[in-house]
């Protein structure tokens, strides 16, 4: 199983797991695209969410990877909209469902001692699976606190609802990002390395990078796209 091998440090399995689920990231990017927002930019953002999911996924918990990854990717997309000033409005129905989902997750965890899957949450709340996934993404993006409470009867006592429903951190660890990018970094120009580090290690927005580098946001978007294309070719 790719996820198990990736969890055990198999770099090739990790890359394969990411590549296998890129269509999921692209699909979610298209679904959440708003106005004139560049689809390529949103695919980049969704890919960051996918990488976070790969690095946090624990196959021993019994969930499928795609089930785990969807809320993480959705949360990353919503966070992007917030950080770039889009001020995405979460529909009242989604907000209400998010509260029900959180309550249901805590109840199921208490009853069974096992973290619930989105499908189980859908059954408990009577909502459509897709709506539950969107609610989880909105909940993760809204606040880390609500998902950072203990999930229940876990062996180490440290597991949280966030550990099973997706990543709610503001960024992922720099060491993990470097582990992903380092093998191909030496083949990129220094400028592109710097921009990639700012985006994916330091979790800076394109506007922040543009201000730091002294170019336009559009140029940064183009440079990121070119650099990621190069990395994709180098790691195939």
| pLDDT tens track for 195-232 | 877 876 566 788 888 899 999 988 888 888 888 777 66
Q: Is residue 140 a contact partner of residue 189, using CB atoms and an 8 Å limit?
A: no
Least reliable range by pLDDT among 98-107, 110-119, 154-163:
154-163
- The answer to whether 23 and 17 have CB atoms below 8 angstroms apart is no
Is residue 169's pLDDT more than 60? no
CATH of 174-234, one of 1.10.10.10, 3.20.20.80, 1.20.140.10, 3.30.70.260: 1.10.10.10
Write the pLDDT tens digit of every residue in 87-105.
455 667 777 888 888 888 8
Characterise 218 by phi-psi region: left (phi > 0), alpha (psi -120 to 50), beta (else).
alpha
| pLDDT-based confidence at residue 138 (cuts at 50, 70, 90) | low
Which residue ranges make up each domain of the chain? 2-165, 174-234
Q: Which of 34-38, 136-140, 190-194, 204-208 has the highest mean pLDDT?
A: 190-194
Better pLDDT: 155 or 105:
105
């Amino acid at each position: 199983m790719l996820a198990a091998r990736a969890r055990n440090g198999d770099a090739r399995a990790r890359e394969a797991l990411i590549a296998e689920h890129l269509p999921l990231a692209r699909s979610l990017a298209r679904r959440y695209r708003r106005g004139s927002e560049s689809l390529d930019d949103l695919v980049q953002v969704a890919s960051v969410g996918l990488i976070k999911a790969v690095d946090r996924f624990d196959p021993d918990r019994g969930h499928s990877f795609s089930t785990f990854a969807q809320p993480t990717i959705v949360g990353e997309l919503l966070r992007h909209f917030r950080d770039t000033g889009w001020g995405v409005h979460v529909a009242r129905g989604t907000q209400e469902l998010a509260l029900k989902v959180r309550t249901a997750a805590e109840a199921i965890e208490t009853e069974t001692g096992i973290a619930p899957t989105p499908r189980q949450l859908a059954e408990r709340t009577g909502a459509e699976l897709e709506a539950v996934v969107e609610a989880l993404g909105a909940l993760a993006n809204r606040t880390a606190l609500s998902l950072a409470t203990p999930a229940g009867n876990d062996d180490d006592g440290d597991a949280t609802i966030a550990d099973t429903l997706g990543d709610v951190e503001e960024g992922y660890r720099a060491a993990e990002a470097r582990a992903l990018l380092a093998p191909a970094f030496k083949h990129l120009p220094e400028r592109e390395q710097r921009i990639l580090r700012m985006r994916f290690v330091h979790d800076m927005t394109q506007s922040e990078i543009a201000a730091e580098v002294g170019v336009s946001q559009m140029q940064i978007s183009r440079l990121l796209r070119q650099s990621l294309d190069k990395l994709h070719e180098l790691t195939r």
